[in-house]
Chain A
Amino acid sequence: MERVPILKIGDILLVSIQVDMSDQTAVQLQDDLAERIVATGCHGVIIDITALDIVDSFVGRMLSTIASISKVLDAETVVVGMRPAVAITLVELGLSLNGIRTALNVERGMELIAAAHADERELAFEDEPDTETTASS
Chain B
Amino acid sequence: MALSTEEGNRLAGLLTGHAERVMQRWTEIVAASLRGRLSQGELRRQVQELHSSMITAGEQGAVDLDSEQATELRAVLSELSRGRARQGFSASETAVSVFALKEVLLELMEDEDGPHTLRDYVAFSGLIDQMGLFTFESFVRTRESLIADQAEQLLELSTPVVKLWEGVVAVPLVGTLDSARAQVVMERLLQTLVDTGSPYAIIDITGVPAVDTQVAQHILKTVVAARLMGADCIISGIRPQIAQTIVALGIEFGDIATKASLADALRHVLRLTGVETGRRQRREA
| Contact across chains for B231 and A104 when beta carbons are under 8 A apart | yes
Given contacts A103-B230, A104-B194, contact A84 B224 (CB under 8 A): no
Chain A 79-110: CB-based contact to B (< 8 A → 1; otherwise 0): 11011110110111000110001111101110
A105 touches which of B187, B197, B224, B228 (Cβ 8 Å): B197
* Total inter-chain residue pairs, C-beta < 8 Å: 60
Closest Cβ of chain A to B161, distance in Å, is: 12
B244 interfacial contact with A, CB 8 Å:
no
Given contacts A91-B224, A122-B283, contact A84 B194 (CB under 8 A): yes
CB contacts (< 8 Å) of B194 on chain A: these are 83-84, 104-105
Given contacts A102-B227, A104-B231, A115-B276, contact A88 B197 (CB under 8 A): no
Interface size on B (CB < 8 Å)? Answer: 20
Q: Give complex CA distance A82, B190 in Å.
A: 10
Closest Cβ of chain A to B153, distance in Å, is: 23
Q: Give complex CA distance A101, B232 in Å.
A: 12
| Contact across chains for A82 and B224 when beta carbons are under 8 A apart | no
Most chain B CB inside 10 Å of its own CB: which residue of A79, A82, A104, A125: A104
Q: Write the chain B residue with the least CB distance to A80.
A: B230
Which bucket holds chain A's interface residue count?
Answer: 20 to 34
Q: Write the chain A residue with the least CB distance to B279.
A: A122
| Contact across chains for B199 and A87 when beta carbons are under 8 A apart | no
- Contacting residues of chain B (248-270) with chain A, CB-CB under 8 angstroms: none
Q: Give complex CA distance A83, B230 in Å.
A: 11
Given contacts A84-B194, A104-B194, A104-B230, contact A91 B225 (CB under 8 A): yes
CB contacts (< 8 Å) of B224 on chain A: these are 91, 96
A84 touches which of B197, B225, B227 (Cβ 8 Å): B225
Q: Write the chain B residue with the least CB distance to A104.
A: B230
B186 interfacial contact with A, CB 8 Å:
yes
List 5 A-B pairs, Cβ < 8 Å.
A78-B230, A84-B229, A88-B186, A91-B224, A104-B229
Q: 9 nearest interchain CB pairs?
A: A84-B190, A102-B230, A103-B230, A87-B225, A87-B228, A91-B225, A82-B229, A104-B230, A91-B221
